[in-house]
């Protein structure tokens, strides 16, 4: 019994649950914003099924990522604990787990949600697990920028689940996450630069240095600021979201500027943590705005 619980925890860790929670949360925001007013029970049921399907396929992509990068993970303090990196799960177990999750999630989405959501979610799986992990990540320091398209997909998936199409509102949400991804990950890469150097991955701080990376972080926070105003400009939200987006974006820009002007590892860590707060609270503000003032 104890062994079974331990194995379950290893498989659960393989699916990167903390990352998946943010993915599903962003997808849920897309679902909520796609439905005017209070959703019906049928829409709630559809959203729950879509969340489960997206969680399964995203977990499959995470497990495949752990399998492909087990050698790299073993060299980095941040990831050395993963079951594949420690050899606690075999390649066959990890691949089988990924295949089962991907199949189950795809079938669920195709049959009980709609085919468009299934194909978009499967394309996200391929984009992250194959295009990003296998091809881009070890090839170019712009891996985060290009691969960020996969990470920005959740709101599109949520919107497609509820409407059967991808609207301009969903593309705005996609753009926000797409521009948020580089400063988020580059802040992490700055204080984990030695880990990335040992791993052999061409992350921007390794290939172009700290100062160049910090300039890029600041510039991306400025672009992100503009993108975060678009829901208000397009009419998706009102003043409540605008206030939250302005304050959060000013905070992120300030962190980016401070990081550029006077680097410290502690500040890079704070910038990384603030980026998580920025995206979570930003999308929560969209949700509140939708129900309170929509």
| C-alpha span between 70 and 80 (Å, rounded) | 9
| Res. 146: pLDDT tops 80 | no
The domains of the chain are located at: 1-166, 167-294
The domain 1-166 having CATH identifier 1.10.357.140: the answer here is yes
Tell me: the pLDDT tens digits for 201-246?
Answer: 788 888 999 999 999 999 999 999 999 999 999 999 999 999 999 9
Radius of gyration for the chain, computed over Cα atoms and rounded to the nearest angstrom:
19
Q: Residue written as tokens 């495949």?
A: 64
| C-alpha span between 237 and 246 (Å, rounded) | 13
Q: 7: pLDDT confidence band, cut at 50, 70 and 90?
A: confident
| Res. 1: pLDDT tops 60 | no
Q: What pLDDT score does 101 carry?
A: 95
Tell me: the pLDDT tens digits for 23-75?
Answer: 898 899 899 999 988 889 999 999 999 999 999 999 999 888 888 888 777 77
| C-alpha span between 259 and 255 (Å, rounded) | 6
Tell me: the pLDDT tens digits for 164-207?
Answer: 999 899 999 999 999 999 999 999 999 988 887 887 778 888 89
Q: What pLDDT score does 225 carry?
A: 98
Considering the chain, what percentage of its residues have pLDDT values greater than 70?
A: 98
pTM (two decimals): 0.88
Residue 251 vs residues 218, 235, 257: alpha-carbon distances, Å:
11, 24, 10
Taken in order 25, 29, 34, 35, the sign of the CA dihedral is positive
Q: What pLDDT score does 294 carry?
A: 58
Classify residue 238 as exposed, middle or buried by CB count within 10 Å of its CB (0-12, 13-18, 19+).
Answer: middle
| Res. 2: pLDDT tops 60 | no
| C-alpha span between 35 and 46 (Å, rounded) | 12
**Are the beta carbons of 89 and 83 closer than 8 angstroms?**
yes
Q: Within 10 A of 2 (CB to CB), how many other CB atoms are there? A: 6
**Are the beta carbons of 102 and 88 closer than 8 angstroms?**
no
**Tokens, residue 247:** 């304050």
**Tokens, residue 160:** 């497609």
* 3-state class (DSSP) for residue 284: helix
Identify the CA nearest to 83 among candidates 14, 3, 133: 14
* 3-state class (DSSP) for residue 164: coil
| Res. 81: pLDDT tops 90 | no
CB-based contacts of 248, cutoff 8 Å, min separation 6: 228, 277, 278, 281, 282, 285
Mean pLDDT of 115-139: 85
Q: Which residue has the higher pLDDT, 200 or 258?
A: 258
Q: 5: pLDDT confidence band, cut at 50, 70 and 90?
A: low
Q: What pLDDT score does 18 carry?
A: 84
Q: 279: pLDDT confidence band, cut at 50, 70 and 90?
A: very high
Q: 4: pLDDT confidence band, cut at 50, 70 and 90?
A: low
| Res. 254: pLDDT tops 90 | yes
| C-alpha span between 33 and 19 (Å, rounded) | 22
Q: What pLDDT score does 196 carry?
A: 79
């Amino acid at each position: 019994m104890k062994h079974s619980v331990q194995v379950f925890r290893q498989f659960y860790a393989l699916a990167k649950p903390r990352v998946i929670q943010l993915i599903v949360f962003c997808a849920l925001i897309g679902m909520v914003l796609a439905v005017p007013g209070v959703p019906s029970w049928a829409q709630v049921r559809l959203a729950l099924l879509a969340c489960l399907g997206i969680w399964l396929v995203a977990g499959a992509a995470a497990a495949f990522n752990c399998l492909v990068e087990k050698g790299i993970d073993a060299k980095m303090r941040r990831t050395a604990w993963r079951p594949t990196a420690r050899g606690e799960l075999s390649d066959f177990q990890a691949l089988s787990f990924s295949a089962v999750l991907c199949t189950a999630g795809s079938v669920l989405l195709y049959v009980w949600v709609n085919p468009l959501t299934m194909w978009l979610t499967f394309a996200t799986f391929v984009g992250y697990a194959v295009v990003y992990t296998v091809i881009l990540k070890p090839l170019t320091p712009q891996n985060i920028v290009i691969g960020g398209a996969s990470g920005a997909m959740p709101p599109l998936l949520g919107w497609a689940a509820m409407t059967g199409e991808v609207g301009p509102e969903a593309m705005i949400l996609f753009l926000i996450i797409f521009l948020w991804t580089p400063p988020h990950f580059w802040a992490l890469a700055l204080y984990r630069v030695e880990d990335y150097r040992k791993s052999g991955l061409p992350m921007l701080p390794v290939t172009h240095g700290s100062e160049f990376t910090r300039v890029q972080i600041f510039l991306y926070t400025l672009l992100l600021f503009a993108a975060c105003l678009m829901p208000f400009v397009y009419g998706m939200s009102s003043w409540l979201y605008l206030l939250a987006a302005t304050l959060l974006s000013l905070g992120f820009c300030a962190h980016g500027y401070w990081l550029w002007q006077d680097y410290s590892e502690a500040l890079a860590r704070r910038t990384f943590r603030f980026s998580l707060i920025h995206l979570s609270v930003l999308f929560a503000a969209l949700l509140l705005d939708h129900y309170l003032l929509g």
